[in-house]
């Protein structure tokens, strides 16, 4: 579940980076949230069910 949300956030980040460069701050916040979610999942040791 976390990986799915992280992938969606990364895709939104890429779309926003290419399509709307003027809102770069919000786009980078999405990327940071996605990376933090992946790290928390890795550190906790649980595997997400896809």
Predicted confidence band at 19 (pLDDT cuts at 50, 70, 90)? confident
Report how far residue 14's alpha carbon sits from residue 42's, in angstroms, rounded to the nearest whole number: 23
pLDDT score for 41: 79
Write down the domain spans for the chain: 2-44
pTM of the full predicted structure? 0.50
Mean pLDDT of 5-24: 76
pLDDT score for 46: 63
The structure tokens listed for 38 are 């992946």
pLDDT score for 8: 83
Greatest distance between any 2 Cα atoms in the chain: 37
């Amino acid at each position: 579940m976390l990986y799915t949300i992280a992938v969606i956030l990364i895709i939104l980040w890429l779309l926003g980076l290419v399509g709307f460069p003027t809102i770069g701050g919000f786009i980078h916040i999405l990327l940071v949230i996605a990376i933090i979610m992946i790290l928390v999942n890795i550190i906790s040791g649980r595997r997400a069910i896809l």
